[in-house]
Structure 1
């Protein structure tokens, strides 16, 4: 009898251990899919299927820089606070067979901060690889628009006055032309407040009313003070076997470290990710979605209406009736999250019915506005002019995938030029940026 009981106990222990291992594997599978704007670029599993007898004549491509290092402030917190948290967690590592961290989480014992404050926001080696691969992908999709020989008559490249966009542009050029020829590519002087690539830097009204206004993130604050976030803090603390509940600030730091380390070191598993279940990550992701929705998205009209200069620039470079002589057929710009999110919003993409508010977490699990998908490192938006047997059309790509603009036929990938022109004209004709962004009428 005693022998049978021993065998039963061993079987139960094995089953419990196997279930625990499975849960750990499942947790790691989901890392990288709910990490917000600090997510590495995920190349599509398959290229867009572009059908029909059409010739692609012009392209306007806006690219967010590749994976970068965090700000100096975040790096400093990583170096100062995370070792303290690590020490507390390791003091409470469970014995075998008890709930808590997974076996792979032993990496926390050897974890050390690798980043220096001098790395602040610099493009990483992974970010360079992302740009090289992205360029090669676009050359594969549109070989006529991305010829392998560089010419100023064929290409216009432009980036903002930052290291991460400059380095992204140069890596993209390597992907197109190889390292030798890429050194001959010409770039116009970068402007700190670029009216097309960083228009929001010039919008004084938006900066005062939204960007610099603490009340603009009220929806995120309400959500972070609610029951979902409290439950998240509690479950994470229990998973780490701590006898106290971690603060929101500490959990945010662990989350952003998980995100950056997942993006920067893709062949490794950040031990800080191990603190989060998939549901925990979803909660953290929603909090970030709320902030970007209200700061860079649909939350306020002025936020997306100010994107009209970038859309006007696109129209002037791909619409035949508006193109000036000498305009290169291929335009590639390198910018930031703030520009792309505002553009996507101005175009009406990823708009959820009813909007995002703190009390809609459970009803918006399948929401369209999810920055982990639409605003990752390397995010890109392209408009391609296509000449077909029956006229001109415009193809729109986001993250290399075909998207259909609201107002175009939702059953067709290509939007007829006359319809596309009407949509853009409605945006561009009312584009009085100076009046929209002036503080005089506030």
Structure 2
């Protein structure tokens, strides 16, 4: 980890101290990690998903909140540090240093920030649109499981106790129902500690590059000009390392916690009772833990700080963008119940299944321990023991 951090810092300090910013033909937006815009990743084909002699009957979906504002600390950094740095860069170019194009200099000149730190992590307009359009597409794909008319017996909506998750859930309902029904939606009570939904700064310019690019469909943040492809890939890898060890495959105890979400889904699918459509709204760490629990995007070797693995499967820019989501759809088929999995609205084949449409029985057998031996208190005890050591 320290090797990568040192390399990244050296690249950035060298480029700015010398007044030179690379202009290689690349797109930094490919390496924004968990701040990647959802519009770069989702499946745009929203036609109904059908299988012979099968009908979609239930859906269980968990989504990361939509595009948000930065933390208060980063907003303050935007309003102070980056403003000062902007003028230093412009002054350097007036002195004949640097390699920014005329258009890039103009964009940097126009850039400013006066965000209110009190609105930290609030959902943006783009985040609202992401949720509305996501809901509309899911309804088109699975009209039997996702009914157009709201009924609090057949729909369950729940979110973590944060403004961004709450607003994501509310805008999602606007996409599913007409405005009158959306206003009447009942949300499950929230708690500060939610074992199903919430299990839980290398560089300010990199973060704001991602945030501002995600907020606007038509403009890339001028702070992205600070990175060439090599430095952007190192920043991305640095953050992927963090999420690999904190939310992914680094420690099995980390992703074992996601058994509660898996258990919740399978209990719903195995019963004739309960809601037909369950929509949960949470955070980056939640989605990554569930992906790891499902054995998805597992790298061929552990991610380490001394080697940058470019062809790794675990790349948050691709698997954990803003509004990233994971859905399971229960199909009642002539040959028995089957489950279809979608990640970011794209149909995927689970590693333990032979086909995309997987027998429910196969999954119940594979995830037996997740369903019947999911002891959260025991996991907390193991975690405390490791800390004590």
Aligned to 2:256: 305
Query: Retained in 2: the 8 A contact 1:159–1:333?
Result: yes
Which secondary structure does the structure 1 equivalent of 2:146 belong to?
coil
Aligned-partner Cα distance in 2 for 1:90–1:50: 56
Describe how 1:118-137 pairs up with structure 2 within 5 A. 118-137=118-137
| Residue deviations 1:139-183 (CA, integer Å, cap 9, x gap) | 010011112110012201111111111111110000011222200
Instruction: State the shift of 1:324 in Å.
Output: 5.9
Instruction: State the shift of 1:360 in Å.
Output: 2.7
Query: Retained in 1: the 8 A contact 2:146–2:276?
Result: no
Aligned to 1:413: 356
Indicate whether 1:404 and 2:349 are aligned: yes
Q: Which has the larger radius of gyration?
A: 1
Aligned-partner Cα distance in 2 for 1:426–1:402: 25
Instruction: State the shift of 1:314 in Å.
Output: 0.8
Match of 1:332 among 275, 279, 296: 279
Query: Retained in 2: the 8 A contact 1:94–1:100?
Result: no
Aligned-partner Cα distance in 1 for 2:278–2:265: 9
Instruction: State the shift of 1:390 in Å.
Output: 1.6
| Residue deviations 1:394-433 (CA, integer Å, cap 9, x gap) | 1011101111112111xx2111121111122132233121
| Residue deviations 1:53-80 (CA, integer Å, cap 9, x gap) | 3101111100111000010011111111
Match of 2:330 among 385, 390, 394: 385
Indicate whether 1:41 and 2:38 are aligned: yes
Which secondary structure does the structure 2 equivalent of 1:193 belong to?
coil
Indicate whether 1:431 and 2:374 are aligned: yes
Aligned to 2:152: 152
Aligned-partner Cα distance in 2 for 1:423–1:135: 30
Instruction: State the shift of 1:195 in Å.
Output: 2.2
| Residue deviations 1:276-296 (CA, integer Å, cap 9, x gap) | 122321111011100110111
Which secondary structure does the structure 2 equivalent of 1:419 belong to?
helix
Describe how 1:20-31 pairs up with structure 2 within 5 A. 26-27=25-26, 30-31=27-28
Instruction: State the shift of 1:39 in Å.
Output: 1.4
Aligned-partner Cα distance in 2 for 1:358–1:128: 36
| Residue deviations 1:75-129 (CA, integer Å, cap 9, x gap) | 1111111112111111111689x86112321211121114210220111111000
Q: TM-score, normalised by structure 2?
A: 0.88
Higher deviation after alignment, 54-63 or 260-269: 260-269
Aligned to 2:267: 316
Aligned-partner Cα distance in 2 for 1:404–1:331: 21
Aligned to 2:8: none
Q: TM-score, normalised by structure 1?
A: 0.78
Aligned to 2:195: 195
Supply the RMSD in Å over aligned alpha carbons.
Answer: 2.0
Query: Retained in 2: the 8 A contact 1:306–1:437?
Result: no
Aligned to 1:352: 299
Aligned to 2:99: 100
- Classify 1:440/1:334 alpha carbon distance in 2 versus 1 (closer, same or farther; 3 Å): closer
Which secondary structure does the structure 1 equivalent of 2:250 belong to?
coil
Aligned-partner Cα distance in 1 for 2:280–2:112: 36
Indicate whether 1:375 and 2:306 are aligned: no
Query: Retained in 2: the 8 A contact 1:64–1:340?
Result: yes
Aligned-partner Cα distance in 1 for 2:50–2:100: 46
Which secondary structure does the structure 2 equivalent of 1:359 belong to?
coil
Indicate whether 1:293 and 2:249 are aligned: no
Query: Retained in 2: the 8 A contact 1:381–1:398?
Result: yes
Which secondary structure does the structure 2 equivalent of 1:344 belong to?
helix
Which secondary structure does the structure 1 equivalent of 2:178 belong to?
helix
Which secondary structure does the structure 2 equivalent of 1:190 belong to?
coil
Aligned-partner Cα distance in 2 for 1:274–1:178: 42
Query: Retained in 2: the 8 A contact 1:39–1:263?
Result: yes
Query: Retained in 2: the 8 A contact 1:155–1:330?
Result: yes
